[in-house]
Structure 1
Amino acid sequence: MVVWKNTTDGVQDNGLTLNGFLFLNTLFIQRGRHETTWTILRRFGYDDALELTDDYLCPLIRVPHDCSTELNHFGYQFLQKIFEKHDKDLDGALSPAELQSCFRVFPYVPWGPELYHTVCTTDKGLLSLHGFLCQWTLVAYLDVHRCLEHLGYLGYPIFSEQDSQVHAITVTREKRTDLEKGQTHRNVFLCKVIGSRGAGKSSFMQAFLGKNLAAQKESLGRQTVYTINTVQVNGQEKYLILQEIDVELEFTKVSDASCDVACLLYDVTDYKSFNFCASIYKQHYMDGQIPCLFVATKSDLPQTSPQRSISPAEFCYKQRLPPPIYFTCNSHGAPNSTVYAKLATAATFPHLNDIDLGAASFWIRVALGATVAAVVGVTLYKAVAKNK
């Protein structure tokens, strides 16, 4: 009532406008009630220097070894509201100006131009809601403290009426427990894409965003070592992160090979590229529990045959690995996404490391067939013996 009586635009829809809020605090200060204004500021996370405190921006979160961090449904709901708030033209996408408006409360721009090569965009090259949520999922997985900071700038604790933005994050259980139980509750998986230079790693990652070779050549801008999208695994939506690995620079210690699934990429026109992947597999993955898939790129081109070495299919068979998956992004439409679903499935069921799910069902059918044949054989034998 005080604001309404003393201003012409201080109250709107039974709430305070910016001018009304400023008038009210000016009134407090003029009447010597400075502590009231400071109480308001501190409620919104500000310290005595009018800077957001570390306790507000970076609340304590404990992430045990071998666990990962994901946004939960509270976080996704909040981010969807943020997206819709800044989608002024209601076209289902954020233009550069709308995205800049979203980050206006940040002291820096958190996402660079590589964003448009990291997530899916609309036909016009704008950031869709799907791409927006994928980018947040990526940040939450790779750097949860940065994600919490960003959520703090957007006011998650205030709008969600929670103590901190940790409320928007789920810390998964240890991967060791997932392996013991034969199942996982994780929704986000990391796949390292490994291969020699020229094997097609960058093209493979951009194809994950639905871009064929022609679209990739037209796409300008800075490339990225990460791409993220969703895939279906047994009817459930999972987030799959692809990370392009430069083995010569990044495989300096054992932990560098750590991931949820390894994609060993080789060029069918260059057998040396397969030898490179086979060497990486033997060195870093053969004795571990990380599922691996060999992917043969440029499958639309003639395949070279090994002179003296075994073929990729024979190598995979001997190592009890699924056979190589053939892939090309030199297609008219969007590249085939089957390979990405297989990678996500392998990550979701790591205890099936030595056989792929298709092979598993095959051997189940073989076992059932053998059982039926045995029963029939015993029955015939008894019948013949009885007649004798």
Structure 2
Amino acid sequence: MAGGSSSAGNAKSGGVRIVVAGDRGTGKSSLIVTAATDTFPTNVPPVLPPTRMPDDMYPDRVPVTVIDTSSSLENRGRLAEDLKQADAVVLTYACDQPATLDRLSTFWLPELRRLEVRVPVIVVGCKLDLRDEQQPITLEQVMSPIMQQFREIETCIECSAFNHIQIPEVFYYAQKAVLHPTAPLFDQESQTLKPRCVRALKRIFILCDHDRDGALSDAELNDFQVKCFNAPLQPSEIVGVKRVVEEKLPEGVNDLGLTLTGFLFLHALFIEKGRLETTWTVLRKFGYNNDIRLVDDQLPPPIKRAPDQSVELTNEAVEYLKTAFNMFDIDGDGALRPAELEDLFSTSPESPWIEAPYEDAADKNALGGLSLDGFLSEWALMTLLDPIRSVENLIYIGYSGDPPSAIRVTRKRRTDRRKQQTDRNILQCFVFGPHQSGKSALLAAFIGRPFADIHVSTTEERYAVNAVDLPGGTRKTLVLREIPEDGVKMLLSRKDALAACDIAVFVYDSSDESSWKRATKLLVDVASQGEITGYEVPCLMVAAKDDLDPFETAIQDATRVTQDMGIEAPIPFSATSGDFNSLFRRIATAAEHPHLNIPETEAGRSRRQYNRLINRSLMFVSVGAAVAIVGLAAYRVYAARKNSSS
């Protein structure tokens, strides 16, 4: 594999914007003019206008614009704006003024952090020709402590505009830091490739290993070279590459060719030698950006959908996932253990399910393994919440179909209600209820978690997802979304809050009358929101803790309220009974038929009666107006005949 320079491609197609900042009198303007014109200026204005560097100055031929800045207090606002728009920052100090060097760590670098300017920084010592040569201290000795403290510093260099020493190099390093940054690829402390870089290179290796034998043959290496660098490798070059690897790392080459270990070693070697452009060229040829994620044009376009439409995986994508599951279930136990799951996602930037809301959302066995149902459920949840990220991860794990073909947008919920049937495979249920009503126990039961006696208050929204078998042999994926009582008001403050909801469940502690009353109020609040916004949803009540003695009038009160509102009577539930599959079937069945179990509040009933009255009145007015018009027309005919006869 030979190194090569290439255009940054998608990295900075609009050019590189470099902002030069530093104390007054440190040589900023002279540095810029000398670099642009190859002439040291005798007079320069206080601040230069934006300066375009010659296009042929550097091999990447990416346009470079340099922005001069003023360090005066009255121009501090403009300075901040310029810094925030920078692709790279050149910070200057004067080699003959030690105080300006101290100011880098006491003001300039902390100021960049305060402004949240997260771009590469090049520290430049100007006026090298004026430095006191009696001080034998080296640049490395001076800058090493600062670079330890401020990791954003990409490199340091000293220069002299007057003597034309290392002037082009300043902006070359700045441009290179933007186009080929070190930070995403390499950990300077441990001198190793960063995990995300390793994962991307592993995916590239697998894509290039056409015969899937775990090594790149000479032909595969040559194909890789042509794809990335538009030039074939000579047989002698292939031999040379493998010899370099084998001498340093015997396991990097085997009888079949270059192994993944050897492939990664080569890239680490290029980076250590400062040839970052080689690795970046490879990454960009395979669609990666500076964050080592796939660029947008590798993913589906933004999804156009109404608030009451959702996104699901297509059958094609689901079948691919079933194949991937079986491929990575190495021990054949019907579950992906944590190590197997990590292996599956080892070509993603990171495993997508290690944090909320996915971490504990699906059923896992005693060893922490995901069954096929649990695996597909996690994908369903990720597609529901973040469809583009779901497709992105599908591509990382090897899905080669057209990215937009992996997902489908469902029909509008309002259409489902009119047709009295939903066409979705993923049903989202909002779980409401007061504190300690049993919401978390309901979610835990749904994914097979044992009941926990110790109550832990839920302050954040949580999810549980699982497959539910319905009568007639159909199967749906049900997503339970727990809404903490304290979060209901904020949720309902959004007009389209219920648009994403297929069904709402209201859980109350059947042994506590105050819990019942608060759950009923929540039901009324949600139903009212649906009536006002038009996003009406089916609702069910769940009488949790059914194993405890109910409060005195529990059954009568619950039956009366649910009948008045036009929904089913509360469904009993006990997290300790272990028999609750019928509950989740009833929830999914109610969501399947979105025209049923729509609660009606007093206000909603009054509003409907008023609308019916108005419509009836308008109908009478219309009939009266029609009669009047017909009568007028008849009179005109009569009058015309009378006139003609006379």
> What range is the shorter-chain TM-score in?
0.7 to 0.9
> Which deviates the most, 239-248 or 310-319?
310-319
Structure 1 residues 31 and 67 mapped into 2: Cα distance closer, same or farther (>3 Å)?
Answer: closer
Q: Name the CA distance, whole Å, in 1 between partners of 2:542 and 2:296.
A: 45
- Picking from 579, 604, 614, the partner of 1:335 is 579
Matched, 1:303 2:303: no
Q: Is the 8 A contact 2:544 2:573 kept in 1?
A: yes
> Which deviates the most, 72-81 or 23-32?
23-32
Q: Which has the larger radius of gyration?
A: 2
Q: Name the CA distance, whole Å, in 1 between partners of 2:389 and 2:377.
A: 15
Q: Which residues of structure 1 form unaligned runs of 5+?
A: 1-10, 218-222, 356-388
Structure 1 residues 166 and 14 mapped into 2: Cα distance closer, same or farther (>3 Å)?
Answer: closer
Could you report, residue by residue, the CA deviation over 1:61-117 in whole angstroms, capped at 9, with x for unpaired residues?
A: 322331111111111111112222222222221121111111111122211166463
Aligned residue in 2 for 1:145: 388
Map 1:224-373 to 2 at 5 A: 225-235=462-472, 236-252=474-490, 253=493, 254-258=495-499, 259-286=501-528, 288=531, 289-306=536-553, 311-331=557-577, 334-353=578-597
Q: Name the CA distance, whole Å, in 2 between partners of 1:330 and 1:293.
A: 21
Q: Name the CA distance, whole Å, in 2 between partners of 1:347 and 1:30.
A: 51
Aligned residue in 1 for 2:19: none
Could you report, residue by residue, the CA deviation over 1:218-261 in whole angstroms, capped at 9, with x for unpaired residues?
A: xxxxx970001111233210111001101322432143344111
Structure 1 residues 93 and 113 mapped into 2: Cα distance closer, same or farther (>3 Å)?
Answer: farther
Letter in structure 1 aligned against 2:546: S
C-alpha deviation, 1:40, in angstroms: 9.3
Q: Name the CA distance, whole Å, in 1 between partners of 2:227 and 2:558.
A: 77
- Picking from 18, 25, 41, the partner of 2:215 is 18
Q: Name the CA distance, whole Å, in 2 between partners of 1:203 and 1:190.
A: 18
Q: Is the 8 A contact 2:307 2:496 kept in 1?
A: no
Q: Is the 8 A contact 1:261 1:292 kept in 2?
A: yes
C-alpha deviation, 1:210, in angstroms: 2.6
Letter in structure 1 aligned against 2:476: K
C-alpha deviation, 1:263, in angstroms: 0.5
Could you report, residue by residue, the CA deviation over 1:31-56 in whole angstroms, capped at 9, with x for unpaired residues?
A: 97279x99997774347998632211
SS at 2:216's partner residue?
Answer: helix
SS at 2:427's partner residue?
Answer: strand
Q: Is the 8 A contact 1:250 1:256 kept in 2?
A: no
SS at 1:196's partner residue?
Answer: coil
SS at 2:465's partner residue?
Answer: strand
Could you report, residue by residue, the CA deviation over 1:331-362 in whole angstroms, capped at 9, with x for unpaired residues?
A: 2xx3321111111111110112259xxxxxxx
Aligned residue in 2 for 1:374: none
Structure 1 residues 247 and 34 mapped into 2: Cα distance closer, same or farther (>3 Å)?
Answer: farther
Q: Is the 8 A contact 2:538 2:597 kept in 1?
A: yes
Letter in structure 2 aligned against 1:255: D
Q: Name the CA distance, whole Å, in 1 between partners of 2:513 and 2:579.
A: 23
CA RMSD after TM alignment = 3.4
SS at 2:541's partner residue?
Answer: strand
Map 1:193-232 to 2 at 5 A: 193-213=431-451, 225-232=462-469
Letter in structure 1 aligned against 2:580: N
What is the TM-score when the length of structure 2 is the normalising length?
A: 0.47
Letter in structure 1 aligned against 2:335: A
Letter in structure 2 aligned against 1:154: I
What is the TM-score when the length of structure 1 is the normalising length?
A: 0.75
Q: Is the 8 A contact 1:210 1:335 kept in 2?
A: no
Which structure has more RCO (C-alpha within 8 Å, separation ≥ 6)?
Answer: 1
Q: Which residues of structure 2 form unaligned runs of 5+?
A: 1-207, 234-277, 455-459, 600-646
Q: Name the CA distance, whole Å, in 2 between partners of 1:57 and 1:29.
A: 21
SS at 1:350's partner residue?
Answer: coil
Aligned residue in 2 for 1:62: 304
